């Protein structure tokens, strides 16, 4: 398992000082590329496989995944969220953002919304 090997390498006391600046994700990628190379894959094939494994398909039904695959997808989404999240200390942080969404189409009303409004 590339994840386990990367964690062991990063936490090894002999290598810890050298790998402080290297993220766990980079080590996992390195292990994955080495594994592909040892399996006879080209660098392009290994990179493509890694990219497919690390990308979330919005059309995928995650209810059908097993626990391990679901945890993997969730960790990918968490990493993406943290990468894109704006924090108070960021220079381009804006507290109150107002966004106007274009209304090219006419809004459709929902039947349940109208009925609940009449009951009140």
pLDDT tens string 28-71 = 888 889 989 999 999 999 888 888 888 888 888 999 999 988 98
Buried-state track 32-52, b at ≥16 Cβ within 10 A, e below 16: bbebbeeeeeeeeebeeebee
> Which ranges of the chain would DSSP assign to H, the alpha helix?
2-11, 24-38, 43-53, 67-84, 111-119
pTM above 0.85, yes or no: no
Q: What is the pLDDT of residues 41-51, one digit of tens each?
A: 999 998 888 88
């Amino acid at each position: 398992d590339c994840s386990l090997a990367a964690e062991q390498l990063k936490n090894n006391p002999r290598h810890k000082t050298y790998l402080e600046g290297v993220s766990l994700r980079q080590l996992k990628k390195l292990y994955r590329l080495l594994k592909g190379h040892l399996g006879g894959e080209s660098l392009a094939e290994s990179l493509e496989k890694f990219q497919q494994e690390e990308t979330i398909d919005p059309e995928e039904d995650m209810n059908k995944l097993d626990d391990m695959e679901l945890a993997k997808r969730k960790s990918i989404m968490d990493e993406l969220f943290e990468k894109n999240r704006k924090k108070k200390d960021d220079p381009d942080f804006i507290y109150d953002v107002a966004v106007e969404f274009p209304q090219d189409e006419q809004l459709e009303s929902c039947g349940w919304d109208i009925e609940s409004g009449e009951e009140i």
